[in-house]
Structure 1
Amino acid sequence: MLLKTNNSKFMIKEVALLVFALFFNFSLGQEIIKEEKKIASLNKPKSDSNRVKADGVAAVVGGNIILESDLDRSIAQIKAQGGDLGETTRCQLFGKILEDKLYAHQAVQDSITVNELQIRSQIDQQIEGILPNFNGSMADLLKYYKKNSEDELREEIYEINKSTSLANQMQEKILADIEITPEEVRQFYNNLKKEGLPTFGVELNVAEIVVIPEVTEASKQEVINKLKEYKRDIEENGASFTTKALFYSQDGSKVDGGKLPTMNRKRPRMVKEFRDVAFSLREGEISEPFESPFGYHIVFLEKIRGQEYDVRHILLRPEITQDAIEKAKKEIDEVRAKITDGSISFADAAREFSDRKETKFEGGKLINPVTQDFNFELTKMDTDIYTQIQDLKDNEISDVIQDQDRENPIFFKLVTVTDRIDEHEADFARDYLKIKRLALQNKHFDAIGKWQKETIESTFIKINGEYRDCEFTSNWLKKE
């Protein structure tokens, strides 16, 4: 199926590769041209053009420049990470960089702002992600990126994160109000029929039964008492909340002293239990212990800036006793025995015994988070799920599986494949949600294409050297 990509032919099939490259490429040009004479210098006679080439300026988009080294390092980074460029050309990669710079430039014009603290909080994770490729050596990392110090590297990563955030927010603004009606979906499907309907691969319906070991009231009270003691020590004896979190918190934020990404009242991301407490605090106040799906917390509200809240927390999870684990294992063994001897169906057993609220009322059926239906395309299935069902025949029940997730350090489950849909040509009734998603994606491309066309025309853009010979889909060269 050919869908409109309007900005570059490879936008869909190469998007993951490009995002990867641009996310880790810390050397994309972020310099801002502040004087008109710098822009004018790009248009000087040939004798001066050599000086520009030596400076490595490949393009100017609004107030941003793109250096020749930006593209070279993007390509080198992809290869260093084991990526395969395939048939992707330099011109295509360059076109993607131009698009990102256009978004970022217009975001500034539209007074879109970024959260500096949140952007800087990403830097540690990014450096930790790439250091293993240099055997953990910061010196080798700095040498590769031609930086004199870690601070210099961090500052450049910050500029990259800032530019990316601006570009993402600009795209969100463009697409924010775009919706699609059932009639538009039908029309899109009818147009596809004329061109040739897409084929969807083998799809599976998967169901589960989950039994979670019960936490005793004594274990809950124990962590509540600990959190109260931490709070008392901080408030009465001047102990450090950050230090307490560093030593005692049981989630990933402990390495940052319990600091979480800045919370925003307009764009809440934390679970409701956490939001309700955090947004009720005064600046400098520590909450009483409270429960969320992840355990028990106390929250320290450090700073309020309008709608933004800077918070730290300490998370403790009640201990699960060995007796509770053995009881849960025995229960799921008994459930499996009842299903296998025909005493109860898998779906009814899920409704009666499963502890996973998200699936139990659907007879244990998992919902595909992408398509919002029960179908999982085999080639795109989450690795963990695929591993658990790959050897199962239809309606065969797995052995008891011990597993864990963010909320539960241990639980037991059974899985089964309830239905298998063979590879088939798209059908409007059966595949409506998939077709709707494609239709909306197509409408987004149209909106982005229209926006880009209008914005390119009204923005100063200068392409230098060999890139003027590229065949761009968008009119970057502003040819009539």
Structure 2
Amino acid sequence: MILTATSWSQITIDEDDNLIKDDKQKSELLVDNIDNQRVKIDGIAAVVGDYLILESDILKAREDQKAQGLSGKEVSKCFILKQIMENKLFAHHAIQDSIEIQEEMVNSRTEQQLQYMVNQAGSLQKILDFYGKDTEEELKKELFDINFETVLAQEMQGSVVEEIEVTPAEVRQFFDKIPEDEKPFFGTQVEVSQIVIKPEVTEEQTQKTVDFLNKIREDVIEDGARFSSRAVLYSDDRGTRSKGGKIPDVSRDSPLVKEFKDKAFSLAEGEVSKPFKTEFGWHILTVDKIRGQFVDVRHILKFPEITDEAVEKARKKIETLKQRIEDGEISFEEAAKEFSDEAETSESGGQLINDLTLDKRFELSKMDPELYNKIINLKEGKISPVYTESNKRQQPFFKILTVTKRIKEHEADYNKDYARISDLALKQKKVREIQKWQKSKMKDTYIKISKDYKSCDFAKDWLK
């Protein structure tokens, strides 16, 4: 039996502040092996409230930091333990304050995280080996627990600073207190717009796709063919194809498009839907099992074929549009609003929004490399060449870009950079509020640190 946080009452502290198991053993986790002997498998680094922090937790986090390319202080055991303890402190008080977390959301995050990890590593087995797990279910359980605790901590942290704001006077005071030789430099920024033209799917190709899915449905319902086998053979969804099209634990809160969820919850077990359309393509779907508010489903996704004629027509359209803009017949903004096939940007005249800052400016040093390479040498107001790209369906589309504004690297200016300076001031105020909260909560939270870590610089602030 491996000791977990739920069996925390088995841990006691001796007169030297050592962590002891079963009142006799030292700060070690023990198991019985086949010869009924006691074997050391882990050590306890710290206790925060109801949470134990194991030596293995620190080592796993350290390996993860190294895998991300971090080094030096960021991978020191003291630095990592401090991070983990802060996270545990937030999570502990989130539970004390009865902050509720939707398990469905954590499940969804875990599934997405695992899929990303598998894609990056190349195989599930490599991930299982890294985490020391035998099965996918064991790994999912551990990832779920980690993610649940992380979400708890984030929610608690958010509640601490959710009402924190800064006034213009505070922003001014923050800026004036920065020494002249320490004023921040803001890197070169650009504002970028784009026009996207997609090849049209003909009615004939759409009907072929619907007919194909109807034939599969007929094979399953009337001839007893296995839905999962057909998914492996024919589905265009590369994420679920190898699993027979299976998507487990679908709930109303799952991060799936509405049309898909509506169809999933409208069917009885074993029923196969008629073909239906989402933004991703055409589907048929069957329900494997209904479990209360969750359903396990399988689906087959098909993309209508795009003909060579449609691709060439789209190419000529964007090339003509580019020439009209360069000839002054129409502005880039007007052309985007009237002709662009990208709904997210067409209404704003093709204006791209920075996902990190949610505004329209991109700092070159932090820009997506693919976009950076396309606009780095593009002068303000000029139009890029026509670029050919592919969507998730591996279908081609065409794009042109323009830099509508370029702001050179410069020292922070209060008037020109007020929004960015305000953001820095707000972040500083939130950090101070969090530090104040932590200091307060340390006083009324049970905290112990193993003697191996009491020499860490942060330890004296945590120990009473």
TM-score normalised over the length of structure 1: 0.78
Q: 1:212, 1:328 within 8 Å by CA — same for their partners in 2?
A: yes
Q: Does residue 1:114 correspond to 2:90, yes or no?
A: no
Q: Aligned ranges for residues 48-447 of structure 1 at < 5 Å?
A: 51-52=26-27, 56-79=43-66, 81=67, 83-88=69-74, 89-106=76-93, 110=98, 112=101, 114-115=103-104, 118=108, 121=111, 125=115, 128-129=118-119, 131=121, 138=125, 142=129, 147=132, 150-151=134-135, 155=138, 158-172=141-155, 174-175=157-158, 179=162, 184-196=166-178, 198-251=184-237, 252-260=239-247, 262-265=249-252, 267=253, 269-282=255-268, 284-406=270-392, 409-426=395-412, 431=417, 434=420, 437-438=423-424, 441-442=427-428, 444-445=430-431
Contact 1:61 1:101 in 2 (8 A): yes
Q: CA deviation at 1:282?
A: 4.6
- Give the residue type in structure 2 aligned to 1:189: V
Structure 1 unmatched runs, 5+: 1-28
The number of aligned residues is 440
Quick one: distance in 2 between partners of 1:431 and 1:30? 53
Per mean C-alpha deviation after superposition, the further-off stretch among 248-257 and 95-104 is 95-104
Percent of aligned pairs with the same residue?
A: 39
Shift in CA distance, 277/472, structure 1 to aligned 2, threshold 3 Å:
same
The CA distance in 1 between the partners of 2:461 and 2:214, in whole Å, is: 62
Contact 2:209 / 2:304 at 8 angstroms: preserved in 1?
yes
- Contact 1:121–1:261, Cα closer than 8 Å, also in 2: no
Aligned residue identity for 1:125 = Q
Residues 166, 426 of structure 2: 8 Å contact kept? no
Is the 8 Å Cα contact of residues 30 and 65 (structure 1) preserved in structure 2? no
* Counterparts in 2 of 1:329 and 1:129: CA distance versus 1, 3 Å: closer
Superposition deviation, residue 379 in structure 1:
0.8
Match of 2:35 in 1: none
- In proportion to residue count, which structure has more strand? 2
Please say if residues 185 and 439 of structure 1, whose CA atoms lie closer than 8 Å, have aligned partners that are also in contact: no
Deviation at 1:217, TM superposition (A): 0.3
Q: Which moved more, 1:157-166 or 1:122-131?
A: 122-131
Partner Cα distance (2:388, 2:18) in 1: 71
- The residue type equivalent to 2:55 in the other structure is E
* Secondary structure of residue in 2 paired with 1:403: strand
User: Matched residue of 1:51: which SS?
Assistant: coil
SS in structure 1 of the partner of residue 69 of structure 2? coil
Residue identity matched to 1:34: S
1:22-37 correspondence to structure 2 within 5 Å: 31-32=4-5, 34=7, 36-37=9-10
Distance 1:389 1:100 in 2: 40
1:39 aligns to what SS in structure 2?
strand
Report SS of the residue matched to 2:7: coil
Q: Is the 8 A contact 2:50 2:92 kept in 1?
A: yes
Within 2, Cα distance between the matches of 1:292 and 1:206?
A: 29
Q: Is the CA contact (8 Å cut-off) linking 1:42 and 1:49 kept in structure 2?
A: no
Moved more, 452-461 or 464-473: 452-461
Distance 1:298 1:453, change over 3 A: farther
Q: Could you tell which deviates more after superposition, 184-193 or 36-45?
A: 36-45
Contact in 2 for aligned 1:258/1:314 (Cα 8 Å): yes
How much has 1:36 moved relative to structure 2?
2.9
Whole-Å Cα distance in 2 between the matches of residues 180 and 100 of structure 1?
21
Change (3 A) 1:126 1:344: closer
CA 1:257–1:107 in structure 2 vs 1: closer, same or farther (change >3 Å)? farther
Q: 1:461 to 1:291 in 2, by over 3 A?
A: same
Q: Distance in 2 between matches of 1:412 and 1:383?
A: 19
Deviation of 1:403 after TM superposition, in Å, equals 0.5
Contact 2:17 2:450 in 1 (8 A): no
Q: Deviations over 1:365-393 (max 9, x none)?
A: 21222322221111111122112112212
Higher mean displacement: 402-411 or 313-322: 402-411
Contact 1:207–1:416 (CA under 8 A) maintained in structure 2: yes
Following superposition, the deviation at residue 215 of structure 1 comes to 0.3
Q: Is the 8 A contact 1:119 1:158 kept in 2?
A: no
What is the CA-CA distance between 1:425 and the residue it aligns to? Answer: 4.6
Partner amino acid, structure 1, of 2:206: K
The offset of 1:441, in angstroms, is 4.4
CA distance in 2, matches of 1:254, 1:137: 16
| CA-to-aligned-CA distance 1:289-339 (integer Å, 9 cap, x gap) | 222221112233444555444433221110000000011111111112222
Amino acid at match of 2:172: N
The SS at the match of 1:260 is: strand
Report the CA distance shift for 1:440/1:192 in structure 2 as closer, same or farther (over 3 A).
closer
C-alpha spacing 1:474/1:223, structure 2 compared with 1 (3 Å): farther
Instruction: Specify the alignment match of 1:25 in structure 2.
Output: none
How many Å separate the matches in 2 of 1:334 and 1:160? 51
- Counterpart CA distance in 2 for 1:286 and 1:444 is 52
Give the root-mean-square deviation of aligned CA atoms.
Answer: 3.7
- C-alpha spacing 1:255/1:435, structure 2 compared with 1 (3 Å): farther
Contact 1:204/1:376, CA 8 A, preserved across alignment: yes
Residue 68 of structure 1 deviates from its aligned partner by 2.6
